[in-house]
């Protein structure tokens, strides 16, 4: 049994840091593990201009603890009205991607895109500029069962989008189904996917074990065991089309433990540790470095990080909560024993 594993410093290709006082907690956790992260723009109000993204980046950098190096890679939030001219400004400022939230699909997505036809000129400009499109792949049609919304999105939105913009680099974010894993595996090199640690570790039973478990609620929601296995197969198969994106998404504990609880699992406090656990369970620790540290940079046209991290098989107890501004943040696995830890 491997007791320790040293890999190139990983990156997180899908992360929610939030803003303000929350950054002290979220940035410290991510920067202790990851060299870079793609920062999601679904703040209130959303990050829709290059100027807002650069201000937000400065606030994130100001929260990086001394002695750690962490590069936030910034994104813009696509709306029906994003001016085409913003794409050139974004490109010039080093913004790497735009995020497509179908309006109403998830947390802070009200300002998202109501009809893909409305953003075609922007997608064309992105394709020309080489900006990545990051897709929350769920239909919002209330007539579609929540467990089917990702699979239906592939048929109704992703396939037509791919045909309309064949050169656009698209990341199918936080995939949760066998259908999405198979779609991405079978597509050309312009399509990739991120996979979260929680979707590799849990199926939908986790939401209901011994009672309703709001801290396991995220969107896209956890699926059946067969889907979890398909995701593990994709993540551990060595394909460069699949890479690490935690979708760590903090909310105040009182809004998770609520009659209408918020979607989002906070995993940044132990993210690479949980991926190690999932890869270990699949007998695929040797595939972790590619997934966590190499495939993502390759898709984004960046070099891998220079440094490394070491993970040890050594049980530790995750904290029960963290400060989150004036509120409390309860992470996934709060107070539980985790089998892998990161060496200081």
Decide: is 99 part of the binding site for ligand DOR (CB under 6 A).
Answer: no
Report the distance separating Cα 29 and Cα 112, nearest Å: 28
| Cross-sheet strand order for the sheet of 71-77 | 12-15, 36-39, 71-77, 97-100, 132-135, 170-172, 191-195, 242-244
Nearest CB to ligand DOR, comparing residues 35 and 245: 245
Nearest CB to ligand DOR, comparing residues 89 and 107: 107
Decide: is 107 part of the binding site for ligand DOR (CB under 6 A).
Answer: yes
Among 8, 9, 16, 178, binds ligand DOR (CB under 6 A): 16
Nearest CB to Zn ion, comparing residues 44 and 128: 44
Decide: is 241 part of the binding site for ligand DOR (CB under 6 A).
Answer: no
Decide: is 138 part of the binding site for Zn ion (CB under 5 A).
Answer: no
Q: Which of 247, 280, 286, 326 is catalytic?
A: 247
Residues between 40 and 79 with contacts to Zn ion, criterion CB under 5 A: none
Q: 148 an active-site residue?
A: no
Decide: is 273 part of the binding site for Zn ion (CB under 5 A).
Answer: no
Q: Count H helices, E strands: the chain?
A: 13, 13
Of 222, 244, 241, 229, the residue nearest 176 (C-alpha): 222
State the CB neighbour count (10 A cutoff) for residue 104: 12
Decide: is 150 part of the binding site for Zn ion (CB under 5 A).
Answer: no
Nearest CB to ligand DOR, comparing residues 19 and 80: 19
Q: Which does 246 bind (CB under 5 to 8 A by kind): Zn ion, ligand DOR, none?
A: none
Which residues contact Zn ion by CB under 5 A?
247
Q: Which residue numbers are catalytic? A: 247
């Amino acid at each position: 049994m491997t007791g320790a594993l040293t890999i190139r410093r990983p990156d997180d290709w899908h992360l929610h840091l939030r803003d303000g006082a929350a950054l002290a907690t979220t940035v410290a956790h991510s920067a202790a593990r990851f060299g870079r992260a793609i920062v999601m723009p679904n703040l209130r109000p959303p990050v829709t201009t290059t100027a807002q993204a650069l201000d937000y980046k400065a606030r994130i950098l100001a929260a990086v603890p001394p002695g750690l190096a962490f590069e936030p890679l910034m994104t813009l939030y696509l709306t029906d009205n994003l001016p085409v001219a913003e794409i050139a400004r974004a490109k010039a400022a080093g913004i790497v991607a735009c995020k497509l939230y179908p309006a109403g699909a998830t947390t802070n997505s009200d300002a998202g895109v109501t009809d893909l036809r409305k953003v075609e000129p922007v997608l064309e400009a992105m394709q020309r500029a080489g900006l990545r499109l990051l897709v929350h792949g769920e239909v919002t049609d209330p007539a579609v069962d929540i467990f089917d919304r990702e699979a239906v999105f592939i048929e109704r939105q992703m396939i037509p989008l791919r045909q309309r913009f064949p050169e656009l680099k698209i990341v199918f974010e936080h995939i949760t189904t066998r259908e999405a894993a198979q779609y991405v595996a079978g597509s050309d090199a312009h399509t990739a996917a991120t996979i979260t640690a929680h979707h590799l570790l849990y199926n939908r039973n986790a939401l209901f074990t011994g009672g309703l478990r709001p801290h396991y609620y995220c969107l896209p929601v956890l699926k059946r065991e067969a889907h979890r296995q398909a995701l593990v197969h994709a993540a551990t198969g060595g394909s460069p089309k699949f890479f690490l994106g935690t979708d760590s998404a903090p909310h105040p504990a009182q809004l998770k433990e609520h009659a209408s609880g918020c979607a989002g699992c906070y995993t940044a406090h132990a993210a690479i540790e949980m991926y190690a656990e999932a890869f270990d369970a699949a007998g695929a620790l040797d595939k972790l470095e590619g997934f966590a540290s190499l495939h993502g940079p390759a898709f984004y046209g960046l070099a891998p990080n220079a440094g490394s991290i070491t993970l040890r098989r050594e049980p530790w107890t995750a904290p029960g909560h963290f400060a989150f501004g004036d509120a409390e943040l309860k992470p996934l696995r709060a107070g539980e024993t985790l089998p892998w830890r990161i060496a200081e």
